Amino acid sequence: MDLDRLRQLVEMMREAGVAELSLEMPDLKVSIKRAVGEEGAAVKTVSAGEAEERQEAEGVTVTSPVVGVFHLSEGEGKPVAEGDLVEEGQIIGAVEAMKISHDLRSPVSGVIARIFENEGTPVEFGQPLFLIRPALSAAEGPQWGQDER
């Protein structure tokens, strides 16, 4: 089986929503697994408009810049966790590809609302890894621990 046929097979899996496929022939054995959503279905693609609406409602999503292995950041002695406060530009994780680590930085200051993947999980390009709820600015309203006046 050549590389072009393998790519076609992966594309057909993606279009059909198939998460796992095993193929055995006398001279070849292939097993392919794709990342899937929480319900076991293939990850749903949304339009740009839907993504912006979700981002405003839920927060900012940090996605994988490459295909590789996801690692949580160990910035101050421990990995980041859901509920942690992060600063804009802070390294919150990394994706390792071919022995090269690609840092994941928080695009905003805020709270890590969700971590979508576990340490050491293989990830695909563009796969959501973190959801960060931005902190309110002084112009938008009170901060934690501040009284409204």
Q: What confidence tens digit (pLDDT) does each residue in 105-120 have?
A: 999 999 999 999 999 9
101 & 60 share domain: yes
How many of the other CB atoms lie within 10 Å of CB of 106?
23
60 & 122 share domain: yes
User: What's the CA dihedral at 80, 86, 88, 89 to 10 degrees?
Assistant: -30
Q: What is the pLDDT of residue 123?
A: 93
pLDDT of 138 > 60? The answer is no
122 & 55 share domain: yes
pTM above 0.85, yes or no: no
Domain that holds residue 118: 48-136
12 lies in some domain: yes
Are 80 and 105 in contact, with CB atoms under 8 Å apart? no
88 lies in some domain: yes
Residue 129, amino acid: L
H or E element, residue 113: strand 110-115
What's the CATH code of the domain at 100?
2.40.50.100
55 & 120 share domain: yes
pLDDT of 149 > 60? The answer is no
For the chain, the domain total comes to 2
Q: What three-state secondary structure class fits 110?
A: strand
pLDDT of 128 > 80? The answer is yes
pLDDT tens for each residue of 16-27: 777 777 777 777
9 lies in some domain: yes
93 & 54 share domain: yes
122 & 58 share domain: yes
Are 121 and 143 in contact, with CB atoms under 8 Å apart? no
pLDDT of 52 > 70? The answer is no
